[in-house]
Amino acid sequence: MSFDYPVTLYLKNKKCSVIGGGEVALRKVQTFLDSAAAVFVVSPRLCPSLMELARCGKIRWIEDHYREQYLQDSFLVIAATNIREINGLIAAYCRENRILVNVVDSPGESSFIVNSFLKRGELLIAVSTNGKSPALAGKIIRELGELYGPGYIQVLALLGEAREMARELLKDQQDRKKFLQEIIDSEIIASVLHGNMEAAREEVRKCLSSYLA
């Protein structure tokens, strides 16, 4: 099976259900929490880290074995038990009810896979090898992490400001496009990465003024 359509999901307050209470389930839960999802975990037992998340109220723990009723109203489901037959049942239910599902031990039964990714504020870079080599995807992400460090959080903040200014002041779409591309191609980004945010903002204003003359 080839997963060849990249997509980024909005999960805030959406019900994301994880069936399983081990370390694999924990990794999935942590990414959902980072996306502000409403996380439900179904398992008779939890690993210590998941237990702590449940104790703190960050996840809702359903202390039981898998039952179909626990998946109702789910936007997305992770089948992460250590029982192949149960994971298969979860996948079948999700297919029948048009719920997105990732089966950790069976990509062929999944409707999506989770890519390796790098996040720097609003910057999100994902890498997929279609399950052929997660190790290679991880290596590529580590290399990208060296290229796109924490400074890109501020870079995206500045570019967001510039885009809003362009929307407000430049009525011509081609001018907006040229202005934003000019910023990307200039030394402004380097200024931000070197900690000169105010100088970079001044250069953006100068660049914008050339389109308003």
In 10 A of CB 120, how many CB atoms? 18
pLDDT band at 3 (very low <50, low <70, confident <90, very high): confident
CATH superfamily name and code, 15-114: NAD(P)-binding Rossmann-like Domain (3.40.50.720)
The reported pLDDT for the residue numbered 130 is: 87
15-114 and 115-148, same CATH topology: no
- Per-residue pLDDT reduced to its tens digit, 35-63: 999 999 999 999 999 999 999 999 999 99
Mean pLDDT for the stretch of residues 77-99: 97
Tokens 């210590």 map to which residue? 48
Instruction: Provide the residue ranges of all domains of the chain, joining segments of one domain with +.
Output: 15-114, 115-148, 152-212
pLDDT of residue 81 exceeding 90, the answer is yes
Architecture field, domain 115-148: 2-Layer Sandwich (3.30)
Q: How far is CA 168 from CA 20, 120, 126, 162, 205, in A?
A: 49, 27, 32, 10, 13
Q: Is the model more confident about 211 or about 69?
A: 69
- Per-residue pLDDT reduced to its tens digit, 164-174: 999 999 999 99
Whether residue 50 contacts residue 19, with contact meaning beta carbons closer than 8 Å, is answered with: no
- Per the DSSP assignment, residues forming a β-bridge with 38 are 15
pLDDT band at 158 (very low <50, low <70, confident <90, very high): very high
Mean pLDDT for the stretch of residues 192-202: 95
pLDDT band at 213 (very low <50, low <70, confident <90, very high): confident
Rounded distance between C-alpha atoms, residue 173 and residue 51, angstroms: 52
**Nearest 5°: CA angle at 23, between 64 and 149?**
135
